[in-house]
Amino acid sequence: MLLHFYKMNGAGNDFVVVDNRDLSLNLTGDQIELLCDRHRGVGADGLLAVEPAENGADFKFRYYNADGGEAEMCGNGARCFGRFTAALMEEAPDQVTFETIAGTLAAEIVDENIRIAMSDPVDLQMDSGASVDGLDATLHSVNTGVPHVVAYVDDLENTDVVRHGRAIRNHERFAPKGTNANFATVLSPGHIAIRTYERGVEDETLACGTGMVACALMHHLLTGAPAPVKVDVKGGETLEIGFEKTGEQQFTKVTLTGTADFVFEGDIEI
Ligand SMILES: N[C@@H](CCC[C@H](N)C(=O)O)C(=O)O
């Protein structure tokens, strides 16, 4: 079968995007893994599929990690999905809504950037009680659409993100679903830098949107820094996280603002 695809990236987190509004595609996990393979396929951290909405939004968002497994949400993917679906609509909209497993989200076009109105974070735990060998940091956890652990460290550049990230991702405390693992450091009040090991990619990626949100919320809880929090990512960009606090460890109106760019499109035999 010849598949038409688009390649996009959000802050360096890259995606194969397919238009499946007619539901004619039924990609298997193996096919998705092959499409995301950087040597044998297009190469990407994940695959986004546009499907018809079921509950009144503009579209349905499906997200698959590079290993072919479906995930509930992807923050950088959501910005790319917003940019992609806005281009599918007849009149250029200010906002696109889409159903995800983590709830219905909205993407707003803000100048060159896309701002995602995220689902409210759940399962927030300051100090999850877990620890991993060789990492002297408290592991906080929160689900910002997908599960995340956040560890604040002094020396981010020299942190072994793959080793510690893999140990956290596979830690029994976060089983059976596993977790993404973020390492963050404070650059100045309200400005942090992060690196993320992603579940389903099983490696460090250049950026992770839901991970940025997790680290920004923890930064607020640990230091009191107000919104918006700026987040530098490994890919070199700085994104912005907005939020409102509704309780001691509860947040709403969480937003993620950053780039979402088309890279190329093509056809591939699968
Ligand atoms: N890259 C993402 C997160 C994608 C899902 C994640 N790997 C998981 O399995 O939880 C983002 O930008 O949020």
Residue to mutate (ligand 1; options 16, 45, 73; most atoms within 8 A of CB): 73
Residues of the chain with pLDDT under 70: none
Distance CA 207, CA 198 (A): 9
Same-domain check for residues 24 and 98: yes
Statement to judge: residues 79 and 33 lie in one domain? yes
Given a contact cutoff of 8 angstroms between Cβ atoms, the answer to whether 212 and 194 are in contact is yes
Q: What is the pLDDT of residue 92?
A: 84
Residue 215 annotated in active site: no
Q: Is 74 tagged catalytic? A: yes
Indicate the pTM of the whole model: 0.97
Number of domains within the chain: 2
Q: Note down the domain range covering 69.
A: 2-118+259-269
User: Do residues 45 and 150 both lie within one domain?
Assistant: no
Q: What is the ipTM of this complex?
A: 0.97
CATH number, domain containing residue 47 = 3.10.310.10
Alpha-carbon radius of gyration of the chain: 18
What is the atom index within ligand 1 of the atom nearest the CA of 147?
Answer: 10
Question: Are the C-beta atoms of 102 and 65 separated by less than 8 Å?
Answer: no
Q: Are residues 126 and 151 in the same domain?
A: yes
Same-domain pairing of 82 and 20: yes
**Does 184 share its domain with 211?**
yes
Q: Report how far residue 224's alpha carbon sits from residue 147's, in angstroms, rounded to the nearest whole number.
A: 23
pLDDT confidence of residue 19: 98
Say if residue 58 is in the same domain as residue 101: yes
CA 140 to ligand 1 center in whole angstroms = 17
Helices (H), 37-73: none
Expressed in angstroms and rounded, the spacing between residue 74 Cα and the centre of ligand 1 is: 5
DSSP state of 115: E
Give yes or no: residues 154 and 165 share one domain: yes
Residues 71 and 137 in one domain: no
